[in-house]
A and B are shown apart, each in its own frame.
Chain A
Amino acid sequence: MATKFNVSEVLEMAARIEATGGRFYRKAAKLHVSARDLLNEIARQEDMHQKAFAEMRRALTPGEQGELAGDLYGDTDLYLKAMVENQSFDINKDPSDFITGQESLADIFNIAIGLEKDSIIFYLGLKQLVPPSMGKEKIDAIVKEEMKHVAWLNQKRTELGLKA
């Protein structure tokens, strides 16, 4: 990876986070019937987010594509790097690979909530980077949906009497 992120790269990372997140939830849904509907619904929403990020990336003008991250308090790039390097889970790895088939539903929920929180923090950095013409409100909408996922997962965990 280049030493400094550009907008195109960051949107590509965001799309990848969503694509692998969707795979994670689908794999988890096959394992646990008691939470299947919820996990499949979250997977469906992650697919929508993946499409949204991919479309934003396609819509970048040639000039915007190579734009370097550098406008968040002097360094969006550093923020994003901190997010990538200090995440609970490696952003470059596919979290569905973590599922061996032996995980309890509590394990799945813990991993999922960690992934959702990491993605929210990452997208807050991304928001600083996308050109205003693209609509920062699209990122806000995705952040709000990820917040809902945290709420849904925690509520379901409580309903099922599972420990955090």
Chain B
Amino acid sequence: MSIEFNADEVLKVAERIEENGAAFYRRAAEITGEEKNKTFLRELAAMEDDHLRIFSEMRAKLSDAERDSNTYDPMSESLLYLKSLADLHGGEGSPDAAAKLTGKETMEQIILKGIELEKKSILFYLGVQEMVPERLGKDQIERIINEEKSHVVILSRALNEARHAR
């Protein structure tokens, strides 16, 4: 898939990352046995839903000019950075991690995958933050980045618990 790197397309990729993230946590909640873990994973999914909504709202507020792919210099470093991450993600923002779950994963494996996805999304949003118009609220992206960082902390805590429970 080729991505035109204007703000519209970049925000679409961000939406897809959140959709994939939420789908991953929901599928993981289905396959895990313990109710406590199901609740934990569903909460993470709900937070990703909230991020999806914010990115969608930002995209809806773009002006026609901001949607225009010619608005941005295709050689700018922010765009090249985003493109490099999208290239590495197969052009889809993030692989569909939910579909790759076989149903046999342990909670530890699920958490490690979750941490990996959170790190990828943080890296991508740093680039998104550089290119969204100021008036759409770069602080909202900063907030999402901070929340993804908090997910890393929450998941790491859960990882410690899962390892001690073995």
Measured CB to CB, the residues of A under 8 A from B are 72-75, 78-79, 81-83, 86, 113, 117, 120-121, 124-125, 143-144, 147-148, 150-155, 158, 164
Provide the bound-state CA to CA distance between A117 and B120, in Å: 9
Would B153 and A73 count as touching, CB distance under 8 A?
Answer: yes
B152: chain A residues at CB < 8 Å are: 79, 82-83
User: Complex Cα distance A40/B129, Å?
Assistant: 29
For this complex, 5 residue pairs linking A to B, each with C-beta atoms less than 8 Å apart, are A113-B84, A120-B123, A151-B81, A152-B80, A154-B80
A154 and chain B: residue at smallest CB distance: B84
A-B contact count (CB 8 A): 74
Given A86-B112, A124-B122: A147 and B153 within 8 A (CB)? Answer: no
Q: How far is the CA of A68 from the CA of B27 in the complex (A)?
A: 37
Chain A residues with CB under 8 Å of B126's CB are 120, 143, 147
Asked if B119 and A121 make an inter-chain contact with CB atoms under 8 angstroms apart, the answer reads yes
B88: contacting residue among A75, A113, A143, A147, CB under 8 A: A113
Q: Looking across the interface, which residue of chain A has its beta carbon closest to that of B126?
A: A147
Q: How far is the CB of A140 from chain B (nearest CB, A)?
A: 10
> Which chain B residue lies CB-closest to A120?
B123
- Which secondary structure characterizes the binding site on chain A? helix
A73-B150, A82-B152, A151-B81 known; A121+B122 contact, CB < 8 A: yes
B105 within 8 A of A: no
- For the complex formed, measure the closest distance between the CB of A116 and the CB atoms of chain B, giving whole angstroms: 10
Are A72 and B153 neighbours in the complex by a CB distance under 8 Å?
A: yes
Residues of A within 8 A of B77 (CB): 147-148, 151-152
A73-B153, A124-B149 known, 13 other contacts, Cβ within 8 Å: A72-B153, A73-B150, A73-B154, A75-B157, A82-B152, A86-B119, A120-B123, A121-B119, A124-B122, A150-B84, A153-B84, A154-B87, A154-B88
* A73 → B minimal CB distance (Å): 4
Q: How far apart sit A72 and B150, CA to CA, in the bound complex (Å)? A: 7
CB distance from A3 to the nearest CB of B (A): 12
When distances are taken between beta carbons in the complex, the residues of chain A under 8 Å from B150 are 72-73
Q: Is B85 in contact with A86, judged by CB distance below 8 angstroms?
A: no
- Knowing A117-B123, A120-B123, A151-B84, the reply to whether A86 touches B149 (Cβ < 8 A) is no
Instruction: Name the residue of chain A whose CB is nearest to the CB of B75.
Output: A155
Kindly state whether residue B26 has any CB partner on chain A within 8 Å.
no
CB contacts (< 8 Å) of A154 on chain B: these are 80, 83-84, 87-88
